[in-house]
Amino acid sequence: MRSGITRRWVRGSLLFTVLLVLLVEGMFLYSSTRSYYNSVQQSMVRRFSSINGQLKMYTGDTSQKTAANRSLALRRMVEQFSDKDKYEFMLLDSDGGVIASSSGTGADGIVVQDDFEKAENAPDGVGIALYRTAGGEPVMAVCALVPYAAEDVAAMRLVTSLSLIQDQLKRVFLVSLLVCVAILGFTVASGLYFIRSIVVPLGQVERTAAGIARGELDVRLPVTGDERDEVDRLRGTINRMAEGLEETEKMKNEFISSVSHELRTPLTSIRGWVETLRNLDDPTDENYRKGLEIINNETARLYNMVEELLDFSRLQNGRLRMECHPLDLVAELTDAVLFCEARIQREGLLLSYTEPEEMIPVYADPDRLRQVFINILDNAIKYSAPGGRITVKIWQGEYKAFIEIIDQGRGIPPEDLENVKTKFYKGSNSVRGSGIGLALVDSIMTALDGTLDLRSTLGRGTVVTLGLPIYRR
């Protein structure tokens, strides 16, 4: 993970920052170089402008005399040039040859005439050339044509060394390079700190998630409770997921144990009575009839339990099809009550149910609806003591029809009430069963756009309220 995030950071942010810094550095150095060179160039051009201004004042009796005076004046300027330490001042003839020089020497060391040729072709009569002398010294030569007739003097040239400027540019380059290195160093340090602050916690989350995937559901991540920290919120989510999985795994294991026990009990009973019946030769024997009845009842209980498990599995996987059509809710409820009435009487319970005269239309699957009613009535019977009353009510509201099944049984503890509709959950006050009856009922009611509400008081009984939308054509 670390290498992956670091690699993406290097390819992305860091590479972009490096390229940006290099671009800015290059633009800065280019701008600095141009600025220095332009400053030197403008300084020499201004000197030429001053000289041309002085030449304009020189006149004579004739044009020839005027030209001679200007030539003489230029030669004196060369001889008396005060900035010999900065510039070499030269006068050039029409061929670009050196007539006079402020150093008293010729054009030794000046190896090109690019400046003079550019001046001849330039609209303003100024030419500039950068090159190195024969000794390797970098120089700038600026040549300007003389705008007035001055006998044999055709152009002026100023030559200056660029060594000092290049030294300054080197210092500027070093300073800017140090600044770039500092920026990149800060970027790398801050980036690595950021990556470390993300990668380390994510690595911890990854290891914990891997442990959960291996079945280590008791592992937890440390949390600070800072809601502004995305990583901390992720830790909390992982912890809640682990807690949920641990609870689900616990309920699943309890469910498997419970179902195994529930299946073993009737199977043991069936097996025992089968052995008994094999030893009975007289079909009229009372034990023969009793054994067949018990086998039949236990087989039916096994069948119902297996069907309940299969239905729940299909419903959870989306493979349980609902074949809905308009039907009379009153008729369906009455059939379920009549189906359970005999059992209610055998258990010594009282039944209170009055069938409404008017039908209540709903849109539902009759088989699944009957399954819901019988499942809830079965719970009411199992959790009621002899002499208790089971009350069934049905009425129609404005938009929904409601069925209420009330028992006077042992009730549901408050700590179990919120979880009894959860799959695999068996409360502390539960009796035999698969533990998925109410979960299946809740799933069916949800699929029918209905509702399931539970109210219970420990020791006094439970009220189950079902709601279904009224069917309107």
Helices 163-213, 230-278: crossing angle, 10 deg rounding: 20
Beta bridge partners of 249: none
The verdict on 249 and 385 lying in the same domain is no
Whether 396 and 463 map to the same domain: the answer is: yes
Q: How many CA atoms lie within 13 A of 214 on its CB side?
A: 9
Query: Is 329 inside any structural domain?
Result: yes
User: Is residue 247 very low, low, confident or very high in pLDDT (cuts 50, 70, 90)?
Assistant: confident
Average pLDDT value for residue range 442-456: 89
Q: What is the pLDDT of residue 433?
A: 53
Q: Output the average pLDDT for the chain.
A: 82
Q: Which of 127, 146, 169 is the last residue of a domain?
A: 169
Same domain, 150 and 80: yes
Is there a single domain that holds both residue 398 and residue 452? yes
If asked whether residues 152 and 9 sit together in one domain, one would say yes
Q: Is the pLDDT of residue 106 over 70?
A: no
Give the range of the structural domain holding residue 274, as residue numbers without chain letter: 230-316
Question: How far apart are alpha carbons 473 and 456 in whole angstroms?
Answer: 37
Q: Which residues contact 290 (CB under 8 A, 6 or more apart)?
A: none
**Total number of domains constituting the chain:** 3
Site of tokens 């007289």: 282
Selected residue with higher pLDDT from 434 and 370: 370
Q: List pLDDT tens digits, range 395-428.
A: 998 899 999 999 998 888 887 777 677 665 565 5
Q: Are residues 334 and 302 in the same domain?
A: no
Which CATH number does the domain housing residue 446 bear?
Answer: 3.30.565.10
Least confident range from 42-56, 94-108, 260-274, 457-471: namely: 260-274
CATH code at position 290: 1.10.287.130
Judgement on whether residues 357 and 289 belong to the same structural domain of the protein: no
In a domain, 105, yes or no: yes
Question: Does residue 471 have a pLDDT over 60?
Answer: yes
For residue 270, is it within any domain? yes
Are the CB atoms for 431 and 448 separated by under 8 Å? Answer: no
Spatial distance between the Cα atoms of 6 and 195, rounded to a whole number of angstroms: 7
Res 84: pLDDT: 84
Q: CA nearest 28: which of 187, 184, 183, 179?
A: 179
Mean pLDDT of 285-298: 78
Q: Per 3-state DSSP, what percentage of the chain is helix, strand, and coil (rounded to 5)?
A: 55, 15, 30
- pLDDT (0 to 100) of residue 32: 82
pLDDT for res 111: 62
- Cα–Cα distance for residue pair 442/423, rounded to 1 Å: 10
Would residue 266 count as lying in a domain? yes
pLDDT at position 452 over 60: yes
Q: What is the pLDDT of residue 276?
A: 77
Q: Which of 69-73, 278-282, 411-415 has the lowest mean pLDDT?
A: 278-282
- Look at residues 89, 61, 62 and name the one whose alpha carbon lies nearest to residue 76: 89
Buried b / exposed e over 181-201, threshold 16 CB at 10 Å, is: eebeeebeeebeeebeebbeb
Summarize the confidence of residues 289-305 as an average pLDDT.
78
- Domain assignment of residue 207, yes or no: no
Kindly state whether residues 372 and 292 are assigned to the same domain.
Answer: no
Are 335 and 266 found together in one domain? no
pLDDT band at 1 (very low <50, low <70, confident <90, very high): very low
pLDDT at 105: 64
Q: Which of 316, 342, 368 is the last residue of a domain?
A: 316
Q: Are residues 158 and 30 in the same domain?
A: yes
Residue after which a domain boundary falls, among 316, 335, 365: 316
- Which residue from 186, 199, 248, 265 is spatially nearest to 18, judged by alpha carbons? 186
Condensed to tens digits (0 to 9), the pLDDT of residues 110-133 reads 667 888 989 999 998 999 998 888
Q: Find the length of the chain.
A: 473
64 & 133 share domain: yes
**At 366, which amino acid appears?**
P
- Phi, psi dihedrals of residue 465, rounded to the nearest 5°: -115, 125
Residue 195 lies in a domain: no
298 and 428 fall within a common domain: no
Q: What is the pLDDT at residue 392?
A: 94
Q: With contact defined as beta carbons under 8 Å apart, do 176 and 164 qualify?
A: no
Q: In what order do the strands lie in the sheet with 451-457?
A: 350-353, 389-396, 400-407, 461-469, 451-457
Q: Does some domain include residue 178?
A: no
Contact predicate 13/184, CB 8 Å: no
Residue 463 lies in a domain: yes
The band of 232, judged by pLDDT with boundaries at 50, 70 and 90, is confident
